[in-house]
A and B are shown apart, each in its own frame.
Chain A
Amino acid sequence: MKISNIQRFKRLSTMVAGVFTVITFLLPNQVLADGGGDFKAKCASCHQPHKNSTGPKLFQVRTKWATGGAKEGSIYQWVNNWQTAAANDPYAADVSKWSATAMSAFPDLSKEQINGIMDWIDMQPDPAATTTGDPTQVGGDPSATEEEGSFSWIWLVIGVIFIIIILAVGGVRRQLKHVTSEEELVEKLTYGEELRAMAWKYRLWVGLGSLVLLLSVLVTVMQGLGRINVVENYQPSQPIVFPHDRHAGANGIDCKYCHNSVAKSKSASLPSVNVCMNCHKQINGEGKPFADQIKKIYAAAGWDPAGAGKYTGKTKPIVWNKVHVLPDHVYFNHSQHVVVGGVDCKQCHGDMTKMNEAVKVQPVEELNKIEGNIKLSRPTLTMGWCIECHAAKDVPLGNGKNAYYDEIHRRLKDNDKTLYRKYLKDGKVTVSELGGWECAKCHY
């Protein structure tokens, strides 16, 4: 591969601006969970706070009605049943002409609830006005790196100062010695000779010290070698900033909706652009940063959102950077693990519903924190990690749910009871006991 394609596996820090934007969204979300929740559940399909869509934008809509001359309380009537409001209030009747599409009736919403929703809406900042937030700038977090960098710099500086002090002190001592030796006619020694003499004098300590030093260097080197090709925390940049937390988390979209061959094939597959368009034909992003990202999907799909929207036929595939990469000589099958093994995506990929940055290979410590995950110790995506799990994961045999395993169970039970008992010592038959540790299960 060309050098230009090579990217360091260094930890990519988070996107400052992106985080800022997300936090501004999340904060009121937590404070007024009810209003926000109700908005999302009842209103969001037609309304947006700062933008007209199927329905008009709702930012400070109460003020708008009040200043527009609407009757007091008419807005709540409107939400419960717009026809009643339109019949009672000429302002409401005017509003009903805003669009040909009639608003649904929400008779079960109380005045408090409606106010909650309105309050929540009014707290939403206008994303178009947010100039600082641009999630496209995926770069290093300067403060973080600086901090980390200055930390090590301090040590370096201190080290240098110490060395200078030692040398200076040594020099002074030497000078003093010279002064005395001039009188006592002691043999003049060079620096090197002196050092050697010192080393010889304290040979036990010097020997022990060098041994410790040598061993620690060896251990560090070996550990370093062992970390080669360990891809934990690998987080390449992506052409589109894709927030998994929004899709899988907030909106609760099933992983399999996009990664739709995960149950059928060895490859989970990235969604083709037409899958993105299923939703994004309607959802074109609130605020510039998001709209910009979604525009990239439109460019790929050849979708012209202007006017009624149509496909131009000019498509351009999206080139993603693969995150979870296994070497070519490894055969890994998603459907084997997801369908047959019943392994949750979280086991290897972590909790994607909370991932608000570019996807990264989760370190095993992170994976272990997730509830329900089999706890492992080797670094993620290494062979040790795989086989550790194969030795821990049980295969339910003979439960009548899978005829394949029923037959395996029958053969084991009928023909080699001792072996079966040996397997069952730990109360389960594991993948490795059925051959999951054999080379040709993954390498061929």
Chain B
Amino acid sequence: MTRKYWKGLEELKETPEFIKQRENEFPSQVSVEEFLSDDKLNETSTARRDFLKFLGFSVAAASLAACEAPVTRAVPYVIKPENVTLGMPTWYASTYYDGSSYTSILVKTREGRPIFIKGNKDFGITKGGVNPQIIASVLGLYDSERLKNASIGGVDVTQSKLDAAVISALKSAKKVTLISNTVISPSMNRAIGTMAADLNVNGATKFEHITYDAVSYSAMREANLQNFGAAILPSYDFSKAKSIVSIGADFLSTWLMATEYAAQYGSRRNPEKEAEGEWMSKHFQFESNMSISGSNADYRGMIKPSEQAAVLSYFIKGLGGACAIAATVPASAEKAAKEALSSLKKNKKNALVVCGSNNVGLQLLTNQLNSLLGSYGTTIDLNNDLKLFQGDDKKVQAFANQVIAGKGSDMIIFMGVNPVYTLPNGAAFGKALKGVKTTLSLSAYADETTTLCSHASPDHHALESWNDFQVKPSHYAVAQPTIRPLHDTTSALESILVWNGKASRAGKDSNVAYDYIKETYATLFPSGDFAYTTHNSCENITVAAAAALTYKSAPITNLPKSGALEVILYQKAAIGTGAQANNPWLQEMPDPITKATWDNYITMNPVEMEKLGYVTTYDQEHGLDLATVTVNGLSVTLPVYPLPGQAINTIGIALGYGRGANGEKIGKAAFQTKEYGGYEVGENGLHVPIGANVFAFASSNFELEAVGTIKKVDGTYKIAATQIHHTVMGRHSIVRETTLDTFLAKDKEAYNPAHTLQKLNKEGHHEERPVSEFDLWDAHPVEKIGHRWGMTIDLSSCIGCGSCLVACQSENNVPVVGKDEVRRGREMHWLRIDRYFASDEEAAVGQRKDKETFSYSKAELAAENPKVVHMPLMCHHCNHAPCETVCPVAATTHSNEGLNQMTYNRCIGTRYCANNCPYKVRRFNWFNYPSYKKFTEVNPAQDDLGRMVLNPDVTVRTRGVMEKCSFCVQRIQSTKLVAKKEARTIIDGELATACSDACPTNAIIVGDWNDSKSSVFASSNSKRAYQALEEVGVKPNVWYKVKVRNEVNELLSSIQVVKEAPHHEKKKGQH
């Protein structure tokens, strides 16, 4: 089996548009005639004479302004805080928890403003694991549409007035329900517990606390209750699992505690480990949607949601267990299932099976399988259970139904939840809320639920408040504020205490929450040092070993129903459940799999799409066909996106879109914008939301799989994807892939051959010599003297999560450009992640022996279930950079440290450099993003608050200049400076670029290549290291490492053999 990589279906099929476009280095521009005939131009009313007047005036104004300069103010502190040094960052260790993701973080602040978040690799259990949402959350702090103060009935009131109203409502209410997301804060739990005890006097149940998670894991808890007698979520250890089988669980991105799993998984994806006597895990994924985990799997089987039980049954039976369910594995997953079974058999207790479904029956089957394998105690830890996702579906549903029936509580407090948006029956629930006497929301935004509440007492942003978390019994963590509250918001913990009469407000500098958390801390750690724990952000707790829970079987019922079309509701890496749908960084982050931005859509396998008559190609001018999906009588209309790897007869739709559909003020970037700025306004006169909300498709027991129908409707919809832009031809020298067996058994030449060219040797014979020996130019003096900054990217450990991309945007002030500009191929991301689908017909390395007879058109056939490679691509800092030689004004030059420098002030915007870049990593700054009206809604730099997130060490680029990855030169410079000041050499690992800092799997290594003891030097000399497009001879400072899949692939290994030495060379050897 050999394969060929292609960047999009357009490329695979070579549609005329694509062929036309790939000839052009840049996406086509609008022609002059077309531009002039544009009706919208009539909107503008500047006459020629006016134009000349303006011109004259601006020239005069500009020349006047040039002679005068504005006075710059300098306002020193009155009393300078001890830990602030002007111009130097201050880092705080903290903890992130938003109801679904949890991780230990480090927050970088400059002059008191948090500007960057990264994972904490030194402390905590997540080992630096992050996801794009966590990194982007810092932008949410500066959202000008956050609620700024308390309100009653939509009228702003003082906090004390609201407190009085809430206290009297609590007193007079007959039944109070607090509905919150999972509370893992010991202090918050204590506060709620006290409130419950105080209100539930004399055995009455006046107060009730219901936990509700937008995406529920209740079935896992239920299954564990039935099998082990405890409704818990276990801890998983993917770093101990030699064989990983995932049934629809996207454990690398959104499933359970993915931030922990990604780092664990990444640590076992290093094939060198296998060579060193360690091992590399083997990962099998059975799923309907192509997920991030599925795209990284060694084997991936396509199954419908209703076939999950059959696959589990196949394994159970194969391992000698008893199962009543037919073990008929579909053909599209047969091979993977077979391999998985043999791997499970081999690894037994060192295997791990996880299932992503919220169906109790499937979870019971998964438990049975894991207990058959004996993985409890090795890869699964029931004793140190995960406290996330404590929601109880039955309770939530009962509560919602009661409210809808008008029989529920007369006071409801919403904390960290948005049920009107996320409940399957959210619309009905929202309507019924009007009938509840007192409804109080603690949400930071006037979201779907809050706008329907009578009272609002907005919570701080996470970066403004004290918090504590206990995500597992063995681990306690603290979140500390990194900025004084920007608005008149109040901490939720403080509010609960105040409303229960346990504390009184103390304004912005209140210590109520802090003192309360310290109290909790003192009970957990009687001899602990809170300051020390805060400094590290966490502390481990020794948990007494509990009696091992024993497995007992339980009857399996209510498995997912099958249907002609099964719908899967999934979470995107960037948007998740939609809590940060107003975050432009996340909206603009290309989806790791589809590479689409600013939208959700129906994903369908292109093979099926062709059968059903949908267009399978699209570009900047041609949209995708629309279709209406109907589930349980509800329907949404969305474009149909061709996604190879989607199981046949299934479609996927992302959750988290369609926020603010009733005109709720949830953030500026949460709505569709027009081509020249301003919001799109729908027929109802409201702003048009981005995508559509499909939470309503979830079944009443919160299962995210459903049976429905799809019908093509008229019209097309333009999608803004980064996929077909920046094509890179000659892919064999871009992506390299091999199997573990080949890597271990064969010589480097077999799977990672050096590029060679023929040369005449002294005897006049032709000789194959490495490309590096051929050179047009004099070598740049960067090797061995001074520094040479290098980077290696391990394609084996890169999971394509997109954290690096958002981190880069945050660090380097990369502007947000909005959907319309992305569609035109003008996204500004300095770092992109190319996602290559593989076709089964051509080997990655492209060394077919049957070159003469092989038909390449065969390789163009679509693969139903392709393998995927994620490849982060940024400026390669070529030592023979083609961009540098064509710049007419020397705006891009080479440093003696191997950096390709971009000087914005010199750049006149000819774009020759981008034209000449073989990696297509240069970005042209088309507009004044921080001021042009087109970007007012999407670009956070257009309001005073949003600008506070900008990194003061990096220039905000202006219109008309080229920009690109600088290797985070500001960090290089500061690392060097720190070393110089401390009179020491640079320590290996000290330098981290934003991307390497953010990478949860440590796939990116940067460092001083001239330091022969550095890890980047060792990594770049590994057998797997190669340079993309090496044959071009640009000598980049970025190395990739061959992706190694732990699979059996006969065709690939038959192709990846050491080349026979050319005839005359052999002869020479004989001489």
Contacts and interface: CB of A to CB of B under 8 A. Distances in A.
Interface of A: 1, 5-9, 228-229, 231, 236, 261, 264-267, 269-275, 300-302, 315-322, 325, 328-329, 331, 333, 335-336, 339-340, 401-408, 411-412, 414-416, 419, 434-435, 438-441, 443-444
Nearest to A327: B905
Contact of B73 (A261, A322, A333): A322
Contact of B983 (A261, A300, A401): A401
Given A402-B980, A415-B785, A269 B86 contact: yes
B76 A317 contact: yes
A235 B740 CA distance: 70
B907 to A, nearest CB: 11
B68 interface: yes
Contact of A272 (B78, B786, B893): B78
Interface residues of B, number: 53
A317 B980 contact: no
Contacts of A434: 786, 896
Contacts of A269: 76, 85-87
A301 B78 CA distance: 6
Contacts of A228: 66-67
A316 B76 CA distance: 11
A401 B1010 CA distance: 22
Given A261-B86, A416-B781, A444-B955, 16 more contacts: A6-B69, A261-B85, A273-B77, A319-B73, A319-B74, A319-B75, A320-B74, A320-B75, A320-B76, A321-B74, A333-B977, A339-B980, A404-B984, A415-B783, A434-B786, A439-B902
B830 to A, nearest CB: 12
A243 to B, nearest CB: 18
Given A269-B76, A439-B893, A404 B979 contact: yes
A10 to B, nearest CB: 10
Contact of A265 (B76, B79, B86): B86
B57 to A, nearest CB: 15
A408 B985 CA distance: 9
A271 to B, nearest CB: 6
Contacts of B955: 328-329, 443-444
B904 interface: yes
A357 to B, nearest CB: 18
B905 A329 contact: yes
Given A320-B76, A443-B904, A404 B985 contact: yes
Contact of B985 (A273, A403, A438): A403
A440 B977 contact: no
A415 B80 contact: no
A372 B980 CA distance: 24
Contacts of B905: 329, 443
Contacts of B73: 319-322
B981 A411 contact: no
A440 B983 contact: no
B37 interface: no
B903 interface: yes
Nearest to A340: B980
Given A265-B87, A415-B784, A434-B786, A6 B71 contact: yes
B885 interface: no
A435 B786 contact: yes
Interface string B660-704: 000000000000000000000000000000000000000000000
17 contacts: A5-B70, A6-B68, A229-B66, A265-B85, A272-B79, A273-B76, A322-B73, A329-B904, A333-B977, A401-B983, A404-B984, A416-B785, A419-B785, A439-B901, A439-B903, A440-B903, A444-B969
A7 B985 CA distance: 46
A319 to B, nearest CB: 5
B75 A317 contact: yes
Contacts of B953: 331, 444
A330 to B, nearest CB: 9
B72 interface: yes
Nearest to A336: B977
A231 B783 CA distance: 41
A411 B1010 contact: yes
A411 B76 contact: no
B86 A321 contact: no
Contacts of A339: 980-981
A319 B73 CA distance: 6
B1064 to A, nearest CB: 36
Contact of B85 (A231, A264, A271): A264
Interface string B951-963: 0011110000000
Contact of A318 (B76, B79, B85, B979): B76
A272 B983 CA distance: 29
B894 to A, nearest CB: 8
Interface string B937-976: 0000000000000000111100000000010011001001
A324 to B, nearest CB: 10
A261 B87 contact: yes
B79 A274 contact: yes
B135 interface: no
A262 to B, nearest CB: 10
A435 B80 contact: no
Interface in B885-909: 893, 895-897, 899, 901-906
Considering residues B69, B781, B906, which has the most beta carbons from chain A within 10 angstroms of its beta carbon? B69
Nearest to B896: A435
A404 B80 CA distance: 32
B895 A438 contact: yes
B9 to A, nearest CB: 39
A438 B893 contact: yes
Nearest to B784: A415
B88 interface: yes
B785 A412 contact: yes
B986 interface: yes
Shortest 8 CB-CB distances between A and B: which pairs? A440-B901, A1-B70, A267-B87, A265-B87, A415-B784, A272-B80, A272-B77, A322-B72
B69 A229 contact: yes
Contacts of B88: 261, 264-266
B39 to A, nearest CB: 38
A273 B78 contact: yes
A390 B786 CA distance: 17
A276 to B, nearest CB: 9
Contact of B76 (A272, A302, A328): A272
B977 A274 contact: no
B971 to A, nearest CB: 10
A318 B80 contact: no
B963 to A, nearest CB: 10
B922 to A, nearest CB: 15
A42 B86 CA distance: 38
B78 A411 contact: no
A403 B983 contact: yes
B984 A438 contact: no
A5 B901 contact: no
A414 B418 CA distance: 65
Nearest to A415: B784
Contacts of A9: 67-69
A271 B1010 contact: no
A90 B812 CA distance: 79
B980 A404 contact: yes
B735 to A, nearest CB: 30
Nearest to B954: A444
A159 B74 CA distance: 46
A18 B930 CA distance: 45
A315 B897 CA distance: 48
Contacts of A267: 86-87
A275 B68 CA distance: 33
Contacts of B71: 1, 5-7, 236, 321-322
A8 B66 CA distance: 11
A302 B979 CA distance: 41
A402 B69 contact: no
Interface string B779-807: 00101111000000000000000000000
A328 B905 CA distance: 11
Interface string B982-1010: 01111000000000000000000000001
